[in-house]
Amino acid sequence: MALTFGTDLSGKVAVVTGAGGILCGMFAQTLAEAGAKVAVLDLNEEAAQKVASSITEAGHTAVAYKANVLLRESLEEVHARIFSELGPCSILINGAGGNSPKANTDKEYFEMGDIEAETKSFFDLDQSGVEFVFNLNFLGTLLPCQIFAKDMIGREGCSILNISSMNAFTPLTKIPAYSGAKAAISNFTQWLAVHFSKAGIRVNAIAPGFFVTKQNEKLLFHEDGSPTPRTNKILAATPMERFGEAHELNGALLFLLNNQAAGFITGVVLPVDGGFSAYSGV
């Protein structure tokens, strides 16, 4: 059971996108343990159902929904079902996102001869891959906000929480599209916080540092489980010298959703990074 740090979400309906994944699945479980009725949204219906089942088996309330965050029609259909089955949305966690190998370079630095070589340089980035990454991360956050925030207008204690990344502060090598898309999420969080400031909706974001997930594990570890050179560089640049553990995001999640503790906080992007953003390397 996760610690809820005194945050009581009883009576609230929380919608979590990308909830079939490791981190957002944990968010869904944590919100349910804090008393919320949770709508578990994911394009992978089986993964969403697995998370929802684990929540209900623990005695809490959750319902799985297949949803495509890039299709307004899909979101509208799911919204109608959630409104009917659970009630109006009070909390929206925009966790759907990800990267694509088509939008990555093979090397950290461009070197003479890379254009002719059998390597994917900046000049070889696939346009459709870059568009997919930007759409999934940015539009995949904007569209759910358009659909579910309508439930929040004029109601007290409603929040939107976006999932940014430390890439938004300092872009990592090899993943320009993902870094740029997460920077857009941070900027959008600030914009939306101002836009909704008089409607009673707080909008914030969490910026995780380095956590091992299904999306990045192949970049961090070889098939035999040994760390890649990228992992060694990450840990050398993280003062706490380790990856974060999923549950260590729960405090930030519950704090920002707690209207007693964070009622005057909106438009912030909170790093949870083991000191990565504070370290100059010297």
For the chain, the structural domain boundaries read 13-209+249-273, 214-243
DSSP state of 211: B
For 172-202, give one letter per residue: b (16+ CB within 10 A) or e. Answer: bebbbbbbbbbbbbbebbbebbeebeeeebb
- In order, the DSSP letters of 34-98 are TT-EEEEEESSHHHHHHHHHHHHHTT--EEEEE--TT-HHHHHHHHHHHHHHT-S-SEEEE----
Pairing of strands 13-17, 91-94: parallel
- In order, the DSSP letters of 156-176 are TTEEEEEE--GGGTSPPTT-H
- What is the rounded distance in angstroms from the CA atom of residue 98 to the CA atom of residue 21? 11
pLDDT tens, residue order, the chain (282 aa): 456 778 999 999 999 999 999 999 999 999 999 999 999 999 999 999 999 999 999 999 999 999 999 999 999 999 999 999 999 999 999 999 999 999 999 999 999 998 988 899 999 999 999 999 999 999 999 999 999 999 999 999 999 999 999 999 999 999 999 999 999 999 999 999 999 999 999 999 999 999 887 777 777 888 888 888 889 999 999 999 999 999 999 999 999 999 999 999 999 999 999 999 999 988
- What is the rounded distance in angstroms from the CA atom of residue 142 to the CA atom of residue 130? 18
- What is the rounded distance in angstroms from the CA atom of residue 168 to the CA atom of residue 185? 8
DSSP state of 136: I
0.85 exceeded by pTM = yes
Q: Closest by alpha carbon to 166, among 62, 78, 277, 263?
A: 277
Annotation marks residue 178 as catalytic: yes
DSSP state of 243: P
From 65, 109, 178, 279, the catalytic residue: 178
Query: For 71, phi and psi rounded to 5 degrees?
Result: -120, 115
CATH assignment of 13-209+249-273, among 3.90.226.10, 3.20.19.10, 3.40.50.1100, 3.40.50.720: 3.40.50.720
Please tell me whether residue 207 adopts helix, strand or coil conformation. strand
Report the run of H or E that residue 33 belongs to, with start and end: helix 22-33
